[in-house]
Amino acid sequence: MPPSSLRVVYAFAREMHPKTSDVFIEYGTAGFRTKANLLEHVVYRMGLLAVIRSRVKNGRTIGMMITASHNLEPDNGVKLVDPDGEMLEQSWEEIATRLANVSDNDLESTTAEIIKQVNADMSLKASVFIGMDTRYTSPRLAAAAANGVIALKGTPKEFGIVTTPMLHYCVKCRNDNTYGTPTEEGYYEKIVGAFKNIRQKLSVWGDYDTTLYVDGANGVGGKKLNIIKKSLGGELDLKLYNLGGNGGKLNLNCGADFVKVSQKAPVGVEHAPFQRVASLDGDGDRLVYYYLNDTDKMNLLDGDRIATLLASYITELVTASEAQDIRLGLVQTAYANGASTAYITKHLKVPVTCVKTGVKHLHHAALSYDIGVYFEANGHGTVIYSDKAKKIIRKIAQEGEPEQRKAAQLLLDFVDITNETVGDAISDLFLVETVLCARGLSAARWLKAYDDLPCRQLKVTVKDRNAISTTDAERQCTAPEGLQTRINELVAPYKHGRSFVRPSGTEDVVRVYAEADTQESADKLAAEVAQAVFDQAGGVGDRPTLPV
Ligand code: G16
């Protein structure tokens, strides 16, 4: 593409998607995320970048997802998906940030510089898949994304409203047709098909109940489960709540993030004692479970619980299949409950790696295992299987002794239920239901595996959250000076006390996490650390208060 054809990049920007804000925006934990009205030019420019990325990848398809996932309705966001369905390569995040922030006048020259820097062959074809969540601002942003793709003569394909993981899945399938068919229907066929397959091999027994209540967070995940529900027959009876009607607002007092952080049941769900409920987030990439007991006490089964459940079942199948030389490992973040890490290492005897927040970091670390189970405590995660592991399992499924074959075949179905590209609430839900069914477990019995340490998360608003720097997988704070020393002093008196702080990459806040031996202590420690952040990192608004 000759440089003169980059004029159209400027023309589209000036006429249709001008930069209207000077607020600096950064590619964060999961792409760009802010108030929707500040994003149109950013999304248009990411359309340009997706085309350049596709050409650098020899014309392989790149994904663009318009979503702000767990954030409330006024926010929106955009993230790029690499050809294997994984998050954008981290070295490109700085390029994305640069392109998003230049003035309209500098857009043409910056685009040319980036093309040169990454050595993109602009004569190649380029393909970009675009998906969006249910926010009312998403269609306009998806149109800006498509214009960005068109401006650099790429081919956009719009998927309309899909979950984030569906878009990741379709990108992967488009670039690797052995993985599946790159359509929403193809996704259902593979993932739901494998679930139905495995359920026919397992008898429903013990305390397992085929009824599952679901909190759809008033987002896209619940809507898609409503489609899937009809094809499930008697295998699983889904009772769906918070599907977006009746005035329910996206992620507001409902959904996985609300349930995990507030440790409260969502609004909009009819509860029955001990009935397990699956709670999704707004774009269907996170999942937590919970149940209320007969005194309405909340019992949370979060990402740590899902990880341990899946890892122990996979270990059981690998052992039963007598597969040799398959190394399984688990990846967590600093938010993982201390009790879960102890259970995984001491009881399951599975190695654990701790990395920074953000599925991109977890996914990367999980690749170092033959089977990598990665989950954030907030319910974002999946399982990835190396080609080597899949090959070994397939061979046993064909050639092993009857008992080995049976275990290996179950494992192959389990692999097919898994969306290996990224954390996926729908795929994870079917994985969890498979294990609960195979083991005859109720939610209450699932919870008995270990006792969580009580914990609390808080948010503190500061002038500039990037004044906080961290190291050691975000467990230690290196700036502002003195804050870590203060946190250490605050933690010291608490039995099983642990606390850390980090700037959020999706919201304009500093996150505070604390755990201790009692809920009262965890709440108090979190509040004390929040006060220290407020005082030492330039807090704004109301000073956090201690619990009374
Ligand atoms: C995104 C990321 C997650 C991360 C979460 C919160 O989730 O994909 O990996 O845990 O943001 O990140 P932070 O604490 O930096 O705000 P989602 O579901 O919002 O896309």
How far is ligand 1, taken at its centre, from the CA of residue 196, in Å? 31
In this prediction, residue 435 carries a pLDDT of 98
**Which candidate, 10, 80, 16, places its Cα nearest to that of 52?**
80
In this prediction, residue 521 carries a pLDDT of 98
How far apart CA 102 and CA 110 sit, in angstroms, is: 8
In this prediction, residue 245 carries a pLDDT of 83
The DSSP output letter for 451 is P
Report the nearest atom of ligand 1 relative to the CA of 378.
10
Residue ranges of the binding site for substrate: 376-378, 502-506, 511
How far is ligand 1, taken at its centre, from the CA of residue 380, in Å? 8
Q: Is residue 110 within 8 Å of 41, Cβ to Cβ?
A: no
The dihedral formed by the CA atoms of 228, 210, 446 and 282, expressed in degrees to the nearest 10: 30
State which amino acid sits at residue 437.
C
How far is ligand 1, taken at its centre, from the CA of residue 274, in Å? 29
Q: Whose CA is nearest to atom 3 of ligand 1?
A: 358
Residue 3, both tokens: 């440089």
Residue 371, both tokens: 């089977």
Instruction: Spot the catalytic one: 5, 54, 69, 368.
Output: 69
**Which candidate, 164, 376, 98, 369, places its Cα nearest to that of 261?**
376
Residue 513, both tokens: 């996490």
Q: Report the phi/psi class of residue 135: left, alpha or beta, with left for phi > 0 and alpha for psi in -120 to 50.
A: beta
Based on the residue annotation, tell me whether 203 is a catalytic residue of this protein.
no
Cis peptide before 165 (omega within 30 of 0): no
Q: Which of 65, 260, 357 has the most ligand 1 atoms within 8 A of CB, as the residue to mutate?
A: 357
In this prediction, residue 246 carries a pLDDT of 83
**Residue in this structure with the two tokens 């341990």, named with its chain if needed:** 308
Q: Whose CA is nearest to atom 6 of ligand 1?
A: 506
Residue 38, both tokens: 């500040």
Mean pLDDT per segment of 10 residues, for the chain of length 548 residues? 76 96 92 96 98 98 97 97 96 97 97 98 98 98 98 98 98 97 98 95 91 98 97 92 92 98 96 97 98 97 98 97 96 97 95 96 97 98 98 97 97 97 98 97 97 96 96 97 98 98 94 97 98 97 88
Q: Whose CA is nearest to atom 14 of ligand 1?
A: 504
Question: Which residues, including other chains, have CB under 8 Å from residue 517's CB and lie 6 or more apart?
Answer: 453, 454, 494, 495, 496
First to last CA, the chain: 66
In this prediction, residue 1 carries a pLDDT of 55
How far is ligand 1, taken at its centre, from the CA of residue 444, in Å? 28
Q: Is residue 499 within 8 Å of 22, Cβ to Cβ?
A: no
Contacts 24+ apart (CB under 8 A), 479-485: 480/536, 480/537, 482/536, 483/532, 483/533, 483/536, 483/537
For the entire predicted model, the pTM comes to: 0.96
Question: Which residues, including other chains, have CB under 8 Å from residue 75's CB and lie 6 or more apart?
Answer: 33, 34, 35, 36, 68
Q: Is residue 470 within 8 Å of 518, Cβ to Cβ?
A: no
In this prediction, residue 4 carries a pLDDT of 58
User: What domains can be seen in the chain, in order of their start residue?
Assistant: 3-161 (3.40.120.10), 187-299 (3.40.120.10), 303-425+439-447 (3.40.120.10), 455-536 (3.30.310.50)
- Please give all residues whose beta carbon lies within 6 A of any atom in ligand 1, as ranges: 29-30, 69-70, 281, 285-286, 357-359, 376, 378, 380, 504-507, 511
In this prediction, residue 3 carries a pLDDT of 55
How far is ligand 1, taken at its centre, from the CA of residue 526, in Å? 20
Residue ranges of the binding site for Mg(2+): 69, 281, 283, 285
The DSSP output letter for 543 is P
Report the nearest atom of ligand 1 relative to the CA of 509.
16
In this prediction, residue 541 carries a pLDDT of 93
Q: Which of 167, 506, 513 has the most ligand 1 atoms within 8 A of CB, as the residue to mutate?
A: 506
Residue 338, both tokens: 């201390």
Residue ranges of the binding site: 69, 281, 283, 285, 376-378, 502-506, 511
